[in-house]
Chain A
Amino acid sequence: MSILTNGTSALLAYQRALNVVSHNIANANTEGYSRQTVDFVARVPEGLAARLGGSGVEIGGIKRLYDEHLAGQVRTNTASLQEAMTYHKYAEHLSNIFADPDVGLATRLQGFFDAIQEVANDPASTSARQVLLSESQSLVDRFREIDAYIEGVAEETNSQIATSVSEINQLAGSIGELNRSIAEFGTNGQAPNDLLDQRDLLIKKLSEHVAVQVVNQGDGTVSVSIGNGQRLVVGAEVERLVVLNNPLDPSRSEVGYTSDDGAFNISKQLSGGILGGALTFRREVADPVRNDLGRLAIALGSDFNAQHGQGVDLYGELGTDFFEVATPGVTTHPDNTGAATVDAAITDVSTLGTSDYVLRFDGATWSMERFETGEAVSLSGSGSAADPLTAEGLSIVVSAGANAGDRFLVQPTRRGASELGLNISDTRRVAAASVAYVSEDIANKGSGTISASGILDGTDPALLNTVRIQFTAPGVYDVVDETAGSVLATGVAYVDGGNIDYNGWRVQISGSANPGDVFRVKSGGPGNNENALSLAGLQNRRVLDNGTTTYQQAYGEMVSGLGTKTYTAQMSRDAREAVLEHAQSAFDNISGVNLDEEAATLIKYQQAYQAAAKVVSAAQDMFQTLLRSF
């Protein structure tokens, strides 16, 4: 009765096939589900049936339509899209802050310099001085706010790293579990399709966090590794990632890989995914921008202080420091065995860069490299106080007692913006007046002119005294300190254009002076605005980057640099989105469920099932016919 067997086998087979179709339809919207198809195989007939014409159908297997190569592409592109998205998200935050006219630095910088000009316009006015102090305070505040903002974003990347690491650990754990279950099925028999789907989905989710490499192990399981081949999952075994604090800069989280020797930092080897995006953003944007801002604050603060110290305030004293300026930060590596300490100072703002540096001692000499890239920086000097190590606007003094392998992190400008402060609260302390300004007496008969050429010794106690240079005879002059009422010199021979140095200043007289002619060197005066004009002049002076950039240009470059990085990230995000879409649709073209197709298959299998039922019914009819004939 092979008809009955055949019919029954078909009924059973199509029942299962309809089951698969319904499974497909049910999972049409399930993430990671790959559609399954049924392989029908004609049953191999046995014995007599082989000659009498077949023994029906059976299910050879239920196949998962899945292309390993396309899945790999989806994973790779997911990782790079997530990287670009994360990078772009953070970069956009920052760049919008920098360019916002209400929040950015540009308006405050201009307000500050405008206020200096107002002081220059009316140096004796308390209100103009008060406005300058408040403008300076808001400039300082703005520097600190922006710095705090960048720091906030950097801290966000830290918590992003922590979140990603914990998700990676969780996903890796689940992948290991699934690997174990898959291995239990063995390689013979029906493959555990839905388990495979689940595992591949988890690997894809893993690649949202970091780029992964997947290798099939042959027993149905896969091994997953990250970075430079650090194994995360092998079969059922899972390694854990941890969050480490950078020993040189504890404010930054790093990704650690645990091995037998303990955890080591693999941040530099990771790429792709949210983790890669956050790390790249921190390295390429947050750190340099923060250093850049700090450099601007240090340059502005120290230049302003230097010029302010060349002036005289309303108390008739030399200008004190106007701004509080940060000094370079030095961190000692906790593993250092030596007792050496390092002291860094900024010597030249114009050649100062925006890098952080690692200073190393190899037992004989010191060397320096950039913190992020490891690029070597040429260093000169021996490190003693008399001959400090110098590089890129820095001067570094190291004390004795360093051991080979000792390391130090030097951050010249990191705290520049956060530690900028206003040192003056008394309006009278604004040094708007000049020191040692010179004048020819209005009654002079000769053609002699006097010119100032600067302060030689700012500490001279008589620096600010009024001094009269009086010609007593042709080519001979006396020098009288009018403030102290003392004679500094008599009968000095006149040299045309020669230096005349007294009380810490230097002036020159040129031309011919008649006997009786008087030249004066005087400092201060409430209406004196000469130093305020010099301070205002800093606005247009090119002081940064070897004297090519003004403060405001430097800020403009920061804005456009950030804008460019954001723009590039946006472009690459869009491009990667498109690439991922292509990869995903290529993958879906094979693995995705099409309901129309399933409907057609459903009809097909349904009809086949009906036909098989007819076969059974026909077999029954035949049997009945046979019975009735007796």
Chain B
Amino acid sequence: MRVSTHQMFQRAISGMLEQQARLSKTQEQIATGRRVVVPADDPAAAAQIVALQRELQMTEQYQKNTDTVENRLGYEEGVLQSVTESLQRIRELTVRGNNDTLTSQDRGAIALELREQLDGLVRLANSKDLNGEYLFSGYEVHTQPFAHDGRGGFTYAGDQGQRDILVGPRTQLGASHSGAEVFMAILNGNGTFVARAADTNAGTGVIGVGSVTAPAAYVEDDYTISFVTNAAGELGYRIDGVNSGQVTPVPPADPALDAPAFVSGQSIGFAGMEVEIRGEPQPGDQFTVTPSEPEALFATVYQLASTLEQGGGQPADSARFHSDVNRLLQGLDNALGHIVDIRAEIGARLSTVDSQRNVNEDHQLRVNSLLAEVRDLDYAEAISRMNQELMTLDAAQKTYVKVQGMSLFNYI
């Protein structure tokens, strides 16, 4: 076979050029640390890299969002911590004020502090977050949520919106509570019903908060417990419901004549509930048992302060005072319990945030290692490849010089 001289040169040169191109590719890979520098290096991997990088960035954003949730909930938790402390102080003061040995002056002083605590509570409920937005006004973050009309009426100007934040591709987490949920809707009484003494009572009967003993038998209604003198001439009581009609004594017994005798401190049971009246009621005295109503936490505190201010002078007033304080203390406990529940929920959300953060971190790790696998260079392989390419190039150059020197013309 004959080979043209030009062809020999051309072939040697194109061989060297090709080796140099390979070497330069390998050099680029080593310099960037990546196996796939441009999509054409491995088109399937290129698409995967785009997807994985997106996954990483997305997860990064979710991680940022978990921080946001944590900050917001942490801030709310801080405020609710202060609310709890204030409520405990209020409870302490109330229990102290419930003592008969106190003078009306003492009670006035306590009431004054209660009012201060109340102002503090309203201030806390009107807290703003770091961005100057109201924490407890739902979606109406620029509207001050709570206002006091000065006569014990508290209004809520926010709404019931709760801000959800994405912390994972399919996980949203509440990062706030509306003020309505936290402060406005706390059931008064024992949570099921409220027992009150009538203002007109002349005796010294004090009613406790009572409880539901048989939930299945409980019938919701407005009940009145009225004291009468029964056929035996004893002090007895009758119970009537607005809808239920005569409850005790059980019809068809005569409501007055057959009224069961009253024993101070003994539970009075009806319609699945029990209440306890102590002291000496007089015939004509009335107590009401009505279903619990949601009440603003502030209203409970306000009523406590007013009740303490009025105090109890005459024995009958004192009895009513104790009835009221009993009822309001229970309301206060309900409020405390409610705030504790909300704080527990915050705690639960924070732990969800934590676990979601771990999930996200794991995900990032997995994606990163996948990305490294798909995109990054195996240095050992690349360097040995480069050495081989260097050697080949060297050989090509040497043979070129040798072959180029060979010519028959050298000999003639």
Contact = CB atoms under 8 A, between A and B. Distances in A.
B44 interface: yes
B46 A559 contact: yes
Nearest to B46: A563
A539 B57 CA distance: 12
A123 B175 CA distance: 13
Contact of B43 (A28, A524, A560): A560
A588 B39 contact: no
A536 interface: yes
Interface string A19-46: 0000000001100000100000000000
B159 A522 contact: yes
B5 interface: yes
A118 B138 CA distance: 18
Contacts of B175: 121
A527 B2 contact: no
Contacts of A433: 139
A121 B68 contact: yes
A106 B54 contact: yes
Contacts of A597: 2
A556 B39 contact: no
A599 B38 contact: no
B274 interface: no
A247 B185 CA distance: 74
Interface stretch (B160-168, B298-306, B323-331): B160-168
B233 to A, nearest CB: 43
Given A433-B139, A525-B140, A588-B3, A439 B408 contact: no
A540 interface: yes
Contacts of B3: 585, 588-589, 592, 594
B65 interface: yes
Contacts of B408: 595-596, 599-600
Looking at chain A's contact residues, the main secondary structure is helix
Contacts of B68: 121-122
Interface string B40-52: 1111101101110
Contacts of B46: 99, 559-560, 563
A594 B11 CA distance: 14
- Centre residue among B42, B46, B51, B293 by max chain A CB count within 10 A: B46
- Centre residue among B4, B49, B138, B175 by max chain A CB count within 10 A: B4
A117 B181 contact: no
A603 interface: yes
A594 B165 contact: no
Contact of B38 (A92, A443, A526, A589): A92
A587 B159 CA distance: 88
B6 A29 contact: yes
Nearest to B1: A589
Interface string B136-151: 0111111000000000
Nearest to A442: B185
Contacts of B265: none
Given A527-B140, A528-B161, A563-B47, A110 B58 contact: yes
A561 B185 CA distance: 59
B131 interface: yes
A533 interface: yes
Given A95-B40, A524-B139, A599-B412, A442 B4 contact: no
Contacts of A596: 5, 407-408
A596 B294 CA distance: 112
B40 A527 contact: no
B53 A101 contact: yes
A433 B185 CA distance: 25
Contact of A566 (B39, B54, B412): B39
Contacts of B44: 560, 564
A361 interface: no
Interface in B246-268: none
Contacts of B160: 439-442, 520
Contact of A527 (B14, B53, B163, B185): B163
Contact of B131 (A107, A125, A557, A603): A125
A98 interface: yes
Given A443-B294, A560-B44, A563-B43, A437 B6 contact: no
A527 B39 contact: no
B99 interface: no
Interface in B109-154: 131, 133, 137-142
A562 B161 CA distance: 47
A526 B166 contact: no
A552 B48 CA distance: 12
Contacts of A510: none
B184 interface: yes
- Centre residue among B6, B39, B44, B172 by max chain A CB count within 10 A: B39
B142 A526 contact: yes
Nearest to B295: A443
Contacts of B178: 442
A533 B172 contact: yes
B39 A559 contact: yes
A555 interface: yes
Given A595-B409, A603-B412, A527 B6 contact: no
Given A124-B142, A527-B137, A570-B40, A592 B412 contact: no
B61 to A, nearest CB: 5
A439 B159 contact: yes
A594 B7 CA distance: 9
Contact of B40 (A92, A540, A556): A92
Interface string B286-310: 0000000110000000000000000
Nearest to B169: A540
Contact of A593 (B5, B139, B294, B407): B5
Contacts of A122: 68, 131
A124 B161 CA distance: 14
Contacts of B225: none
A99 B50 contact: yes
A106 B40 contact: no
25 contacts: A28-B6, A92-B38, A99-B46, A99-B50, A109-B54, A110-B54, A110-B58, A118-B64, A520-B159, A525-B140, A529-B164, A539-B58, A552-B50, A552-B51, A553-B51, A559-B46, A559-B47, A563-B47, A566-B38, A581-B14, A584-B7, A589-B1, A589-B2, A593-B5, A603-B412
Interface of A: 28-29, 35, 92, 95-96, 98-99, 101, 104, 106-107, 109-110, 113-114, 117-118, 120-125, 433, 437, 439-443, 520, 522, 524-530, 533, 536, 539-540, 552-553, 555-557, 559-564, 566-567, 570, 581, 584-585, 588-589, 591-597, 599-600, 602-603
Closest 6 CB pairs of A and B: A592-B4, A525-B139, A563-B39, A560-B47, A563-B43, A527-B141
Interface of B: 1-7, 11, 14, 38-44, 46-47, 49-51, 53-54, 57-58, 61, 64-65, 68, 131, 133, 137-142, 159-161, 163-166, 169, 172, 175-176, 178, 180-181, 184-185, 293-294, 407-409, 412
Given A525-B139, A552-B54, A566-B40, 9 more contacts: A104-B50, A106-B53, A110-B58, A113-B61, A522-B159, A563-B39, A563-B42, A589-B4, A596-B407
